[in-house]
Structure 1
Amino acid sequence: MPSSATGRHAEDAALPPAEDEVAAYLAAFGTPDVVEVLLPDTSAVLRGKWIPGAALRKIWKDGVAIPLSIFGLDIWGREVDATEIHLETGDKDGLCWPVPGTLKPVPWAPRPTAQVLITMHEPDGSARGAPWKLDPRQQLAAIVDRFAARGLVPCVAFELEFYLLKPAGAPGAPPEPVFPATGEARQNMYAMSDLDAFAPLLHDMRAACIAQGLPADTVISEAAPGQFEINLYHRTDALAAADDAILLRRVIDGVARRHGLRATFMAKPLVDFAGSGMHVHVSLMETSGGNLFARPEGAGDRALRHAAGGLLATMADSTLIFVPSYNGYRRLVPGSYAPISISWGYDNRSVAVRVPNGPPAARRLEHRIAGAEAHPHLVLAAILAGMLEGIEAQIEPPPPLSGNAYEHEAPRLSPSMEEAVTRFGASPFIARAFGEDYRRIYAVMKREEMAAFTRAILPLEYDVYL
């Protein structure tokens, strides 16, 4: 069985008492009809419960009981027996506690509704319980603690791409994007006209972000009809940054439904257009002050190179976390602005790890592999673990690529889910970063998910062979 962490993340110490957060919410919004407690599972699917608003304080006082095995469900919400964490264990409950600062109103709900993110603990006789290591948020917390022990604080920002689609058609039918007012299915990168065409919906998304305290920044019309990107401001709290990304997806989905549309974070929903990614920007701040990558006399350059070297050295083993879906590998094709090689470069959007232009104080790495469907907490955990590996082992990366990386000879990212599962399941790095139990359970779940897709008969096969 997975081992439990013995410590407590430092986030608990600096936050106001829980009663203050509840009291502030009630003073601002009154008692909600319903409180939605949200627990992202291993696939970043939000699971949880509706709790009567009158019981709001009980969530903080008593916690929320949810089976520990919630993290052994596949993408469809089915138990994966091979994880051996379901009936074999008696299917015991864990105890979930609110994530401080995430009690917020739900502006798109039809009745007064609150939501709060929760995280899983394992009952161990203590008041709160030990962090449950199958919870991706707890995995990220453990890696952030490793940075703290070195006097470093990750500074993180997420960028999230998505498509707006028409309501679902017939089962199995391909999605229909919502074209701008012209009705043209064409690439129109950064078009202001596309932002104007969807202005009411996009303004409602921004308003919902403000209501929920999500640090939304730029909104961009992306490379395909009905495709957009919303960026989040950087945070020096890595856990909060990943929480923001999870909750931003919920805002986008909820507001789109209120407008009679669907939002999708599927990595490659349309064959002829670009896929959707989730880019992650990371710098490392020293607790003594300043950006590690901006140290003078070449020290910052060395630290940045070593962090990039660690990312490249661990990239093949971590690809299954960055691209966790069968569909996601369709996004990794040449010329798509999604990377296909284990590569890095300066101000180069065709590589996997980019060093953006900017002043020294903002020097950072941009990780460009993850699909929009990936789990923000797991993605960030794998990125940070790779950077730390490079810094601790002083791994020098290969020369940075310039120009079109698709035309360079470089090691290829796993081109299929099958290869990615195999690499992940045998990786010593993954075992060191996440634990052997987590490596086994995640690999088992993804192998069964992959098998379900490979057993399916595609419509194209009927068209060709019937």
Structure 2
Amino acid sequence: MKSHSSTLLAEVRTFRQNHPEVRYVDLIALDIPGHFYGKRYPVEMLEKVAAGSPLKLPQNAVLLGAQGGLFKIGDYCFHDGDPDANRRLVPGTLKPVTWEAQPLGQMLITSDGTEAPIEFEPREVLAKVLERLHRKGIHPVVAFELEFYLFDKKLNDGLPQFARDPLSDDADDQPNLHIERLSRFAPVLDDMVETAKAQGIDITVITAELGPGQFEINFGHLEDGLRAADWAALFCRSTRGVALKHGYRASFMAKPYLHHPGSGMHVHVSLYDAAGNNLLAAHQKQPLRHAVAGCLELLPHCMPIFSPNHNAFRRLGGTVNAATRASWGFEDRDACVRIPESDPRNLRIEHRLASADANPYLVLAAILVGLEHGLEAGKEPIAPLNEDRNSGADFPVEMLEAVRAMQHQPTLREGLGAEFVDVYCENKRQDHLAFQQEIHAREYRWYL
């Protein structure tokens, strides 16, 4: 513990030396809906925390709904006295915030690794899954890909408008994959990439996607699954900030336009043993088939994680590469679980179902539990789409049905933690019901 504190203290002191203009640091963590919460600390107080002073935030901050409200979930929120819970600083995440008007820093905090981790904190859920896999000799290597839209900064009666092409000042309303779109939006995209790199994020490929103002960013492969999810979460925060600085809005909303492609979160996962051998490639790739079978078996029960809100369900069965059934295939982007072409060393799955606004810690945790279950059950998967275009299993396509499918699934309750599953499902149920408590103008047009 002393060595750990010394490392953190050195990190804070080095940051202060390199950024003497920074007076405050945002200490942040991701809640259940995937929003950052936290506190803004004077940098001199951060040094005290790094040296061992306690860092406490309300436990129930993790339970906030999509609009920031608290829901009654069991005894939490309204019958527990709203207790504080210990957090710790995540080493290596203290970085400058360059998109705000004033110089700031930010640093991730978490309850995992403390004396009493919060069982339903997303990062803690993933930490437990990874720790269990490591004990079994399974070491995931992970890479995220995120799609997002750029919009005009000004909304039109609350609705998004196409991003303005900086070259012509016209709306970017021609969906295509032309490389010139990257050039036309280079100032904001380059700033997003450089800002992400300043956060320690390894950005690799940038793609102009099919939607108007839609782009995709790929991250490097990591042996640390927690850090891979950290990258995805931090990229969303910095990208939204950079976009505003350039006169745009950036959004990871799953389906902002009904008639254009939605935005997804694609996760590449390969599994290795302690010696560095690819477990999926062993025995003529039979473990790969078992892992796929496990993912597909649990997928219908993980839909509240992969599609975490009302809008995310609109993306399913969309115009481009959004599956309507639990399926798999080799080099097939219509499949939920795609097997990219690769050599045995890099053999992996690409899980393509989650929406871009899903919680990356929970998405990765759910995928890993599916892979773990498949390897242990040793079942054969259904036919791949390459052999049967109609192959696939149904999954829920609305939230309340999805919550019912998730809450009592025994493998998920064991793999993700029963307390987490109960809390998460009730959070999603209450969020969905709160969303319904507003009469849309369309109802008046149809029924008045």
Bin for the TM-score computed over the shorter chain? over 0.9
For 1:158 and 1:13, the matched residues in 2 are separated by 31
Which aligned pairs between 1:364-383 and structure 2 lie closer than 5 A? Answer: 364-383=348-367
One-letter code aligned to 2:240: D
| Whole-angstrom CA distance in 1 between matches of 2:431 and 2:74 | 13
1:79 — aligned with what?
Answer: 70
CA offsets 1:387-439 (integer angstroms, 9 cap, x no match): 00111111221121117x8x515222212112111101221122111222211
Distance 1:104 1:184, change over 3 A: closer
Counterparts of residues 348-363 of structure 1 (less than 5 Å): 348-363=332-347
Matching residue of 1:70 = 61
Matches within 5 A, 1:147-166: 147-166=133-152
TM-score by length of 1: 0.91
Deviation at 1:312, TM superposition (A): 0.5
On the 8 A contact 1:94/1:121 being kept in 2, the answer is: no
CA distance, structure 1, for counterparts of residue 143 and residue 156 of structure 2: 38
Q: How does 1:60-459 map to 2 (within 5 A)?
A: 60=50, 61-120=52-111, 128-169=114-155, 173-180=158-165, 181=168, 182-183=170-171, 185-189=173-177, 191-295=178-282, 297-298=283-284, 301-333=285-317, 335-402=319-386, 408-459=390-441
The gaps in structure 1 that reach 5 residues or longer are 1-7, 123-127
Distance 1:16 1:53, change over 3 A: closer
Letter in 2 for 1:331: R
| Distance of aligned partners of 1:359 and 1:13 in 2 relative to their CA distance in 1, 3 Å threshold | farther
- 453-462 vs 339-348, which deviates more? 453-462
Structure 1 window deviating more from structure 2 (59-68 vs 71-80): it is 59-68
Shift of 1:134: 1.4
Shift of 1:322: 0.7
Q: Deviations over 1:91-111 (max 9, x none)?
A: 110111111111111121222
How big is the alpha-carbon RMSD for the aligned residues of Structure 1 and Structure 2?
2.1
Gaps of 5+ in 2: none
Q: CA deviation at 1:65?
A: 1.5
Provide the secondary structure at the position in 2 that maps to 1:130.
coil
Asked if 2 retains the 8 angstrom alpha-carbon contact of 1:267 and 1:277, the reply is yes
Query: Would you identify which runs of 4 or more consecutive aligned residues in structure 1 move more than 4 Å?
Result: 12-16
Structure 2 residue corresponding to 1:57, chosen from 47, 57, 77:
47
**How many equivalent residue pairs?**
444
Q: Matched residues in 2 for 1:185 and 1:460: separation?
A: 26
Output the amino acid matched with 2:128: A
CA distance, structure 2, for counterparts of residue 324 and residue 458 of structure 1: 21
- Alpha-carbon distance, 1:145 to partner: 0.9
**Deviation at residue 48 of structure 1 after TM alignment:** 0.5
TM-score, normalised via structure 2 length: 0.94
The SS at the match of 2:436 is helix
Alpha-carbon spacing, 1:344–1:138, altered in 2? closer, same or farther (3 Å): same
Q: Is the 8 A contact 1:164 1:227 kept in 2?
A: yes
1:14 Cα deviation (Å)? 9.0
| Alpha-carbon contact 2:28-2:109 (below 8 Å) kept | yes
In the TM superposition, residue 64 of structure 1 has moved relative to its aligned partner by: 2.4
Separation of aligned partners in 1, 2:107 and 2:408 = 36
1:446 partner amino acid: K
Residues 144-186 of structure 1, C-alpha deviations (whole Å, 9 max, x = no match): 0111111121100000011111224366x32112143453523
Structure 2: how far apart are the matches of 1:169 and 1:260? Answer: 12
Shift, 1:31, TM fit = 5.7
Cα deviation code 1:30-62 (max 9, x no counterpart): 362110111111111000011112222123222
Question: Aligned with 1:89: secondary structure?
Answer: coil
Asked if structure 2 preserves the Cα contact closer than 8 Å seen for 1:139 and 1:434, the reply is: yes
Asked if structure 1 preserves the Cα contact closer than 8 Å seen for 2:262 and 2:318, the reply is no
Preserved contact between residue 32 and residue 54 of structure 1 (Cα < 8 Å): no
Indicate conservation of the 8 Å contact 2:119/2:125, yes or no: yes
